[in-house]
Amino acid sequence: MGSVPNNESFSVELRQLEPENDNNVRKVERANWLLDSPDPPSPWQQLCSSLRPKTSSSASSKNRNSNGFAVSFLQALFPILKWGRTYRAAMFKKDLMAGLTLASLCIPQSIGYANLAKLDPQYGLYTSVVPPLIYAVMGSSRELAVGPVAVVSMLVSAMVSKIVDPAKDAIGYRNIVFTVTFFAGTFQAVFGLFRLGFLVDFLSHAAIVGFMAGAAIVIGLQQLKGLLGIEHFTTKTDVVSVLSSVFSSFHGPWHPFNFLLGCSFLIFILTTRFVGRRYRKLFWLPALSPLLSVILSTLIVYLTKADKHGVNIVKKFKGGLNPSSVHSLQFSSPHVGEAAKVGLICAIIALTEAISVGRSFASIKGYHLDGNKEMLSIGFMNIVGSLTSCYASTGSFSRTAVNVSAGCETVVSNIVMAVTVLISLELLTKLLYYTPMAILASIILSALPGLIDLQGAYHIWKVDKADFLVCIGAFLGVLFGSVEIGLLVAVATSFAKIILDSIRPSIDGIGKLPGTDIFCEITKYPAATTIPGILIIRINNGSLCFANSQFIRERLLKWVEKANASENAQTVRVLILDMSNVTNTDTSGIVVLEELYKKLASQNTQLAIAGPRWKVIEKLKKAKIVDKLGRGCFFLTIGDAVDACLDFKMATHHV
């Protein structure tokens, strides 16, 4: 400030103001509150605080002894120990009905999803036994129905097939799938244990909507193989390759009986779904229709010997309890790195689907779902699942909706479902030998419309066009590229949107609403008026950093230049920079503030900073910027800065 002569400068340093009245004394006190605040917590303290589990003071006071702590810990790890004490027979009746209804939908879907994952059908049923049992004792959602789902099954088949070809080495492919499941569960458990749920948010809502829609179309096109009875089909997932394979198959061997059988039962399933939505009391009808389709179609094929006339059937089906797969995990394989990468992708997608579904139904039921606990429980169920011949599983939207419609009270419905599937593995697998592949394709096709959220995409378009580009990018990436490309486009476009918003933040002129003490954006509130000789600018960004500091500096100088060039306007003597929205800065931002101060001082303009946040003011003090600019350049609010400017102007004018 000494670089500008006192008789030409318009200094607003509070130390030059005589505390003639209580108002000035209060201004000085507020400035001291700002500049003499305690140091913010260090990054290490913040990390430890975020990792520390949340416990209430009352709970900590009650559980000071080791036994109390152990009980509290076990109840947090296994929620069933807490709510199980209040479980009643009346609740079990509802859970029993919901579990049986859930099993009737789960059995045919699990077989179909195993086929989608390029595994033998029993592995889909295995995945509907162990993971639901683990989730029932560890999960915090009361409604979530877990098991194999379409998107994760497609991820597994699309990505693991590039590591090991299932047609050439089925056992090696299966072992890599189990290894991928183990890595997926490990990543999920680590995310929950260290409270790293924010990593899942790298896939924005718009990206998920686009990805799910693209995946649904790709999955649907792949089902044409079973629906048409095509023997030679492409292993690629993009729409061009799939459609080319379909069109070329019409010149080769294909069997119309598969198409006739599959379409007939697809129409039947969709019709029962329409009836179930129209008549709520018939909610059980769409849930039973897939199982009825499997039973009826299997009987038709068995009685008519349709398998000898071109109808493709399941054939391979091994029943019994889940066999151990501990020795199948390939940790010494040269593909372990690729398996870990696929596991990470499956972990994120599975968590995103499960948590979004769980939170949706939890909000309807009026309770909060802890995302970190969900990650931990889903992670453990996949780790245990990988050791018991299961592949990656998560929460299913369609089965959860059926679970809720059937009146479930707790996750006991998952236990009932798992036991029912286990009994089916013991008793019914031989009867499923003649199940036609076209029926499995029709069951998967019937579940896909729930993955395409047209209303959500339209809402994104109306609210945020940039977000819609993210949605479309993910959709087209999956559709015309691959699953990996779709995910890469989704993450890349989401980050590009964040970076663009960060490097080119909006900077608004601020005025005062007449008759009030409110300062707001002039463009938003045209009634707001400016103060002669004072220019107030607000930075609308959470960070002043290397990426945007030079852009902000140039914009601020252009604002000053424009204000000085306007007709009938006084020369800008003070620039008040509102930094109340800036939560953090770095060395580049600090250097730019110092350069801005010197540049303005050479133009006889004083810089004042209003409302700097905790971390910002601390870094400015450590960088000695507070000493260079003077304590009087910093104010708690815009109002304090404006009052100080006006008071000093009146004092100098009086002298």
Judgement on whether residues 513 and 456 belong to the same structural domain of the protein: no
Judged against a pLDDT cut of 70, whether residue 1 lies above it is answered with no
The contacts of residue 407 (CB under 8 Å, 6+ apart) are 94, 97, 98
Last residue of a domain, one of 498, 531, 546: 498
Model confidence at 75: pLDDT above 90: no
pLDDT at position 392 is 96
Question: How confident is the model over 534-545, as pLDDT tens digits?
Answer: 999 999 988 899
**Domain shared by 245 and 379, yes or no:** yes
Beta-carbon contacts of 115 under 8 Å, excluding residues fewer than 6 positions away, are 121, 124, 226, 437, 440
Query: Could you give the CA distance from residue 441 to residue 444 in angstroms, rounded to a whole number?
Result: 5
- In the prediction, which pLDDT does 647 show? 67
Question: Whole-angstrom Cα distance, residue 365 to residue 179?
Answer: 36
State yes or no: pLDDT of 10 exceeds 50. Answer: no
Sequence-ordered alpha helix ranges (H) in 406-503: 412-427, 437-447, 454-463, 465-480, 483-503
The rounded distance, in Å, linking the Cα atoms of 226 and 112 is: 10
Angle at CA of residue 415, ends 409 and 419, nearest 5°: 140
Cα(507)–Cα(110) distance, rounded to whole angstroms? Answer: 54
Same-domain check for residues 509 and 490: no
Report pLDDT digits (tens) over 297-353.
999 998 988 888 888 888 877 878 899 999 999 998 899 999 999 999 999 989 988
Tally the domains of the chain.
2
Asked whether residue 65 is assigned to any structural domain, the reply reads no
Please tell me the predicted confidence (pLDDT) of residue 63. Answer: 45
Which token pair is 16? 């030059």
Given this model, what pLDDT does residue 36 score?
Answer: 74
For 180, the domain range is: 90-498
Looking at the domain assignment, is residue 337 inside a domain? yes
Cα distances (angstroms) measured from residue 321 to each of 153, 291, 315: 22, 21, 19
CB 382 within 8 A of CB 392: yes
Question: Given 445, 469, 498, which residue is the final one in a domain?
Answer: 498
Within this chain, do residues 448 and 525 fall inside the same structural domain, yes or no? no
More confident: 231 or 295: 295
Residue 317: predicted pLDDT: 78
pLDDT (0 to 100) of residue 383: 97
230 and 341 belong to one structural domain: yes
- Residue 492 pLDDT: 84
Q: Give residue 353's pLDDT.
A: 87
Sequence-separated (6 or more) residues with CB below 8 Å from residue 79? 138, 139, 140, 373
* Assigned domain for 6 exists: no
- CATH code, 517: 3.30.750.24
pLDDT average, residue stretch 111-116? 92
Cα 617 from chain centroid (whole Å):
33
7 pLDDT more than 70:
no
Q: Are residues 522 and 488 in the same domain?
A: no
Burial of 278 (0-12, 13-18, 19+ CB in 10 A): exposed
pLDDT given for residue 152 in this prediction: 93
CA distance 12 to 509: 20
| pLDDT above 90 for 576 | yes
The residue assigned the tokens 């509130």 is: 525
The residues, any chain, with a CB within 8 Å of residue 477's CB and separated by 6 or more, are: 214, 485, 486, 487, 488, 489, 490
C-beta contacts of 273-281 below 8 A and 24+ residues apart: 273/446, 280/405
Give domain status of residue 360, yes or no.
Answer: yes
Residues 619, 586 share a domain: yes
Band of the pLDDT at 18, cuts 50, 70, 90?
A: very low
The three-class DSSP label of residue 189 is: helix
Count of other CB atoms within 10 angstroms of residue 74: 12
**Residue 652: per-residue pLDDT:** 40
- Final residue in a domain of this structure, among 498, 523, 555: 498
- Same domain, yes or no: 626 and 531: yes
Is 265 within the bounds of a domain?
Answer: yes
Distant-in-sequence, close-in-space partners of 585: CB < 8 Å, separation ≥ 6:
543, 544, 545, 615, 616, 619, 620
Mean confidence (pLDDT) of the chain: 84
Q: Which of 30-34, 415-419, 614-618 has the lowest mean pLDDT?
A: 30-34
What are residue 63's phi and psi, to 5 degrees?
Answer: -115, 50
pLDDT band at residue 13 using 50, 70 and 90 as cut-offs:
very low
Interval 404-430 mean pLDDT: 90
Mean pLDDT of 437-460: 89
Token duo for residue 37: 């605040």
In this prediction, residue 568 has a pLDDT band, given cuts at 50, 70 and 90, of low
pLDDT in tens, 23-61: 666 666 677 777 777 777 766 666 566 555 544 444 444
The percentage of residues in the chain with a pLDDT greater than 70, rounded to a whole number, is 87
Quickly count: other Cβ atoms within 10 Å of residue 144's Cβ.
33
* In-domain check, residue 68: no
Q: Do 185 and 248 lie in a common domain?
A: yes
Looking at the structure, tell me whether residues 472 and 569 fall in a common domain. no
Q: Which amino acid is at 619?
A: K
pLDDT digits (tens, 9 = 90+) for 354-371: 988 888 888 788 888 888
Higher pLDDT, 22 or 323: 323
Express each pLDDT in 268-284 by its tens digit: 999 998 898 888 788 78
Residue 43 domain-assigned?
A: no
Q: Do the domain assignments include residue 62?
A: no
Please measure the distance between the N-terminal and C-terminal CA atoms of the chain and give it in whole angstroms: 21
3-state secondary structure of 436: strand
Query: What is the tens place of the pLDDT at every residue in 482-534?
Result: 877 887 888 888 888 888 888 888 899 999 999 888 999 998 898 998 888 89
What's the whole-number mean pLDDT along residues 174-193?
A: 95
Q: Is the pLDDT confidence value at 230 over 80? A: no
In this structure, are 445 and 488 located in the same domain? yes
pLDDT for residue 270? 92
Clarify whether residues 491 and 547 are in a common domain: no
